[in-house]
Structure 1
Amino acid sequence: MNAEVHEEQALGKAYDARLMRRLMAYVRPYRKSAALALLLIISSSALSVLPPYLTKVAIDRFIQNGDLAGLNLIAFLYIVTLAAVFILSFGQTWVMNVMGQKIMFDMRTEIFGHLQKLDVAFFDRNPVGRLMTRVTTDVDALNELFTAGVISVIGDVFTLAGIVAVLFMMNYRLALVIFSVLPLLFVITFLFKIKVRGSFRRVRTAVARINAFLQENLSGTAVVQAFVQEKKQFSRFEKINREHLDANLQSIFYYALFYPLLELVGALAVALIIWYGGLQVFAGTLSLGALVAFIQYSDRFFRPISDLSEKYTILQSAMASSERIFKLLDTAPAIESPSHTTPRRVVRGDIEFRHVSFEYKPGVPVLRDVSFHVGQGETVALVGATGAGKSTIISLLSRFYDVTEGQILVDGADVRDYRLTELRRSIGVVLQDVFLFSGSIAQNIRLGNERISDEQIRRASQIVNADSFITRLERGYDTRAGERGSSLSVGQKQLLAFARALAHDPKILVLDEATSSIDTETELLIRDALERLLRDRTSIVIAHRLSTVQKADRIIVLHRGQVREMGTHQELLRLRGIYWRLFQLQYKDQLLPAPVTP
């Protein structure tokens, strides 16, 4: 959690040319829109400089001379200018926001597509909350950059340049009076940046802590309630929430101080203009209209500077967000399909592990020199204590991870020589923790494979005895499963996982502790169906209940990542080894002699 918080609080540089070049690549498909927005904002900035000058002309030429016709013309031009500025501003705002939304669409699509290509080990290392932040919060920060940052800054710069040019043209001495307050403005802005940077860092840290706490606490709501920890967890959340409030209040204080100070500096500039400009009007070296125009230009001069201060924060946040996004996009998938174009297909489903060793973490072996063979149509059971490596074998077979040493062969070919889609399509997996999406029952069984008909779904459900409970639901196969299958019992979800695996008709069937979560009655219902299904299919069964594996063609006993015993149920019992001890522990009540009745 600390690493996640540290990453989220990073603000980054205000400008990074390398990151900006990569960001501009997303603008390239919309360069016509960007060019149009730039043209509109430059035109708007140029026209926005005119109204104060029109005021000067109206006062000096027409009001003082009583020229009504000329005054009417200036008023008309003033209204036309304002209308043109409005239309241009609306146009550039619309174009920029549409372009920004399209860029965000492209970026989210790219991030999600990249996430789907990453290996399971990546998701073991990275919390879901952090990845969701990349797709949502960080992308939104870039949206602000594209819609209110890059092009708008150009508009502000053009506005400032136009005002400066007009001021020097009108009276360079009075222009220098306005610029005399700039050093004070720069000092205030510099101090604000220092203070607000630290404040933003504390806010982002607090937000990251809230997100991490909520994700963990809401996921473990059942445990919290079961152990009556609601008050304690509420106190913890209240403390974190208080830190977030304090950090935001500090940030609000700096902003509440900064913008009035900018107004104060602007007011000081106006006061100096009135004083010095008034003296020049008395001396006859400056017209009254020019003085009024200077006052108006002073207000327009400080407004873009205030906007630039705000856009500095947007740019800084966007640079940090883009760095995190590109770090994610630059993460190469550790598991990829081979580069050769000759496709391989799983025909028989023959499996062989050759001297396989594996480590999740370097130096911590999970499997050590594991070798075994599963022939076409055979059923092999993996048994052993928790942590023996049973589930790891299944993950390696599906190539969620690659072996550290050795080889895994399917139909005589290394699994690394198969395209991932072909390999995984050939393996039907029933995981210990069944995951159901929020769609309908039928959608969860079909899982996007439109070649599976409704009749095939129903037939698969009937074979595993899921059809009986599905048809009792209010909408049958169209019933929504709810988030993670919340509307279904554990046993029902397990049966749906069976139906899902069967409907896809894989060459290889893997049951990862598939019956450990099913009650005895449900287990009896599916046992006969399982025997029929496994008969003509290469199958690997993992279960804590030894009753589910006794009829397997072969049982492999794993202990601390090694194959310690191998044989049939009866052969392993005769060995009186690990399997025999596990059998004794599970069936000790049945094996005890019956008590003697007096």
Structure 2
Amino acid sequence: MASSKGNAFDFGLFKKLLSYTKPYQVRMYFVAISAVLISICAVLRPIYIEYAIDEGMQPKDMDNLIYYIGLSLLVLLGESIFQLLFIYFANWLGQQVVLDIRAKLFKHMIYFKMQYYDKSAVGRLVTRAVNDIETIASIFSQGLFMIISDLLKMLVIAGVMLYKSWQLSLIVFAILPFILYATRVFQQKMKVAFEEVRTQVANLNSFVQERVTGMKIVQIFSREAVERKKFNEINQKHMKAWNKTVWYNSIFFPIAEMVTSITIGLLVWYGGLRAAQSDVITIGLVTAFIQFSQMLFTPLRQIADKFNTLQMGMVAANRVFGILETEARIEDKGTHLLSGIKGDLSFEDVRFSYVQDEEVLRGVNLEVKAGETVAIVGSTGAGKSTIINLLGRFYEIDSGTIKIDGVDIRDVQVASLRSEIAVVLQDVFLFADSILNNITLNNPEISEEDVVAAAKAIGVDQFISSLPNGYHYNVKERGAMLSSGQRQLIAFLRAYVSNPSILVLDEATSSVDSNSEYLIQKAINKITKGRTSIVIAHRLATIKKADKIIVMEKGQIVEMGSHKELLQVENGHYRNLHEVQFAANQEPA
């Protein structure tokens, strides 16, 4: 990774970036050829101006004057055409490269284990995938190729200047080290400044995204003033980071402009004296050298500016490659494909911790027979939802074994494993899309007719059909246009149409109204019939008919049995939970 300690450039990182241009070598060559032709045209213009003055204006030869002015115009036209082609293809290449990187980054991110997202701010990841990658494009469109073109132009100009007059060249070259030194210092300072800018942009994005997403909480608890104050603090830091770059620009460019003016003054003074004394240096040559010096110094100033762009792109690339090089995927070395499974489940001495040395599951042993409905209850933090996370391999167990039909899930391909398990969560996430697409998740194997038939089977069709556009109703971001109960019904239908071998309901009825709960209970009875089902619930009334109830406490199974069996246990955990809930339900209004 690139250092952020002020090193001007990271060639290792740059080499990684250039590897993405390999499929587009032909256009790379075209850009390079255009750069060479631009340099040749740029050098020819001052030379033709010199000839126009010395061989046309001074001897008053109109033919030569028109001839060389005509050549100058032709060269200028050619330079403009090559510049157009150069800019177009450089930009095209930049956009193609970021298209490939963005696709690779998204593909990489969607396979990360949930633990990565638990520890990563969404706003920062969005910044990496959108803002930072777009900044990488500027490396090619405004940075790398522009710098190479300018350097080539400067090299050609320096060679021509030495050939034309070593005395005038020395004047220009004597000033050059001051420009180079100032440019070098400028680059180093801007490297650090732009690192800070990108950090503050990520902080700003993260803060705004979280507050917009949680705006309801902000307003419910009247935290507008507090959040505004926090935002202003972050915004100030962002402004200060940018102001650093403004300050460095404010120092560098006036210095560069002053040095350029001094050089022109020295050329006019020395060249004018020599031109008056002898024919070795002519007025045309002095004029050409003034143009040469400007063409030499201006790219230097532009290179510094373009190097800023390049640095911003490199900082962004460093952050993007940081994610691309992160190994946070679930190891998918399984070769077994699940097909037509019965649904036997077993947990054998399973231990797991989200944070090292803080076990959430402590040696869980559990057998679920095919077709059984097993309910898991317990207090918050007992490890109920963790069991579900491990069954679908969203997290890796620390030790022990989880098997489906006697096969270790680590020996099963992850996609195959998850295709056999459907999960309905308490916190339903819906995309800003139609109800139909939220149910099928764009699976071409599930038709609209299948969805409608499934909705009718569980009694949800009437509610969906009553919405504008029915199954094509756009629920907006996170399903904001639906109630929590309606979102839950959509999530249940989504699980139902996938026809899973194993069904998981994680607090699926905890946040719905009585009518929605009735519909879901009806659907549960239908979908769980003959299918292995795991139901996690706080409300014990919804799990009385379960074949087996498991009671968890502090990451361990403390009781197991049917509803009736567990009620018979003196001072049992389940019995105590049942009595507390029963008493709460009996309290007068």
Same fold, judged at TM 0.5 (above): yes
Cα displacement string for residues 198-243 of structure 1 (whole angstroms, at most 9, x for unaligned residues): 5434433432332232123222211211111111221222232233
Shift of 1:528: 2.8
Q: 1:188 is matched with which residue? A: 182
Rate the CA distance shift 1:8–1:384 in 2: closer, same or farther, 3 A: farther
Asked if residue 55 in structure 1 is aligned to residue 49 in structure 2, the reply is yes
In structure 2, list runs of 5 or more residues that go unmatched: none
Which residue, out of 418, 442, 445, partners 2:439?
445
Residue 343 and residue 199 in structure 1: after superposition, are their counterparts in 2 closer, same or farther (change >3 A)?
closer
Match of 2:368 in 1: 374
Counterpart position of 1:203: 197
> Where do 1:210-359 residues align within 5 Å?
210-284=204-278, 285-338=280-333, 340=335, 343-359=337-353
1:425 corresponds to which residue?
419
| Shift of residue 464, structure 1, vs aligned partner | 3.0
1:458 is aligned to: 452
**In the alignment, what sits opposite 1:388?**
382
Which residue number corresponds to residue 434 of structure 1?
428
Task: Indicate how the Cα distance of structure 1 residues 11 and 319 shifts in structure 2: closer, same or farther if over 3 A, else same.
Answer: farther
Distance 1:261 1:553 in 2: 83
Q: Is the 8 A contact 2:424 2:491 kept in 1?
A: yes
From 98, 102, 108, give the equivalent of 2:102. 108
Pick closer, same or farther for the CA change 1:521–1:440 going to 2, 3 Å: same
Aligned identity (percent) is 38
**Secondary structure in 2 aligned to 1:383?**
strand
Letter in 2 for 1:326: F
Name 2:72's counterpart in structure 1.
Answer: 78
1:330 maps to amino acid: E
Superposed CA RMSD: 2.0
8 Å CA contact 1:9–1:202 kept in 2: the answer is no
Task: Decide whether the 8 Å contact of 2:194 with 2:312 is kept in 1.
Answer: no
Q: Is the 8 A contact 1:11 1:319 kept in 2?
A: no
Q: Distance in 2 between matches of 1:469 and 1:590?
A: 29
AA partner of residue 583 (structure 2): K
Contact 2:452/2:461, CA 8 A, preserved across alignment: yes
CA distance in 2, matches of 1:326, 1:350: 42
* CA separation of 1:395 and 1:385: change in aligned 2, threshold 3 A: same
- Structure 1 residues 275-284 or 321-330, which shifts more? 321-330
Deviation for aligned residue 1:347: 1.3
The residue type equivalent to 1:408 in the other structure is: I
Q: Distance in 2 between matches of 1:263 and 1:294?
A: 17
Distance 2:135 2:415 in 1: 35
Structure 1 gap ranges (5+): 1-6
Cα distance change on mapping 1:165 and 1:449 into 2, 3 Å: same
C-alpha separation between the residues in 1 aligned to 2:268 and 2:525? 97
Q: Summarize the alignment of residues 390-405 of structure 1 with structure 2, pairs less than 5 Å apart.
A: 390-405=384-399
Matched-pair contact (CA < 8 Å) for 2:124–2:203: no
* Native 8 Å contact 2:424 2:506 kept in 1: yes
- CA separation in 1, counterparts of 2:575 and 2:352? 27
Instruction: Report if aligned partners of 1:345, 1:418 keep a CA contact under 8 Å in 2.
Output: no
TM, length-normalised to structure 1: 0.94
Structure 1 window deviating more from structure 2 (197-206 vs 455-464): it is: 197-206
Q: Distance in 2 between matches of 1:199 and 1:319?
A: 13
2:575 aligned with 1:580: yes
* Alignment partner of 1:88 out of 82, 87, 91: 82
Which of 167, 172, 176 in structure 2 is aligned with 1:178?
Answer: 172
Aligned to 2:464: 470
Question: Does 2:156 correspond to 1:162?
Answer: yes
* Alignment of 1:25 onto 2:19: yes
Cα distance in 2, alignment partners of residues 50 and 161 from structure 1: 14
**1:475 Cα offset (Å):** 0.7
Q: Distance in 1 between matches of 2:246 and 2:308?
A: 14
- Aligned AA for 1:338? K
* 1:385 partner amino acid: S
2:563 matched residue in structure 1: 569
Q: Aligned partner of 1:551: which letter?
A: K
Q: CA deviation at 1:540?
A: 0.3
CA distance in 1, matches of 2:586, 2:110: 50
590 and 443 in structure 1: CA distance in 2 versus 1, 3 angstrom threshold: closer
Note the C-alpha offset of 1:166: 1.4
Amino acid at match of 1:116: I
Q: 1:564 and 1:263 mapped to 2: Cα distance?
A: 79
Instruction: Please tell me whether the aligned partners of residues 343 and 370 of structure 2 are also in contact (alpha carbons under 8 angstroms).
Output: yes
Alignment of 1:470-489 (within 5 A): 470-489=464-483
Q: Tell me the equivalent position of 1:531.
A: 525
Which AA in structure 1 matches 2:115? Answer: A
Q: Per-residue deviation at 1:244?
A: 2.5
Q: Structure 1 residues 177 and 8 mapped into 2: Cα distance closer, same or farther (>3 Å)? A: closer
In structure 2, relative to structure 1, the CA distance for the partners of 1:514 and 1:10 (3 Å cut) is farther
Q: Which runs of 4+ in 1 moved over 3 A?
A: 7-13, 190-206, 589-592
Q: Is this contact kept in 2: 1:458–1:467, CA < 8 A? A: yes
Q: Is the 8 A contact 1:9 1:205 kept in 2?
A: no
Q: Deviation of residue 331 (structure 1)?
A: 2.0
Using the TM superposition, give the Cα deviation of residue 302 of structure 1 relative to its aligned residue in structure 2, in angstroms: 0.6
Do 1:465 and 1:495's aligned partners in 2 also have CA atoms closer than 8 Å? no
CA deviation profile, 1:62-91 (whole Å, cap 9, x unmatched): 222222112121111111100000010101
- 1:166 is aligned with what amino acid? V
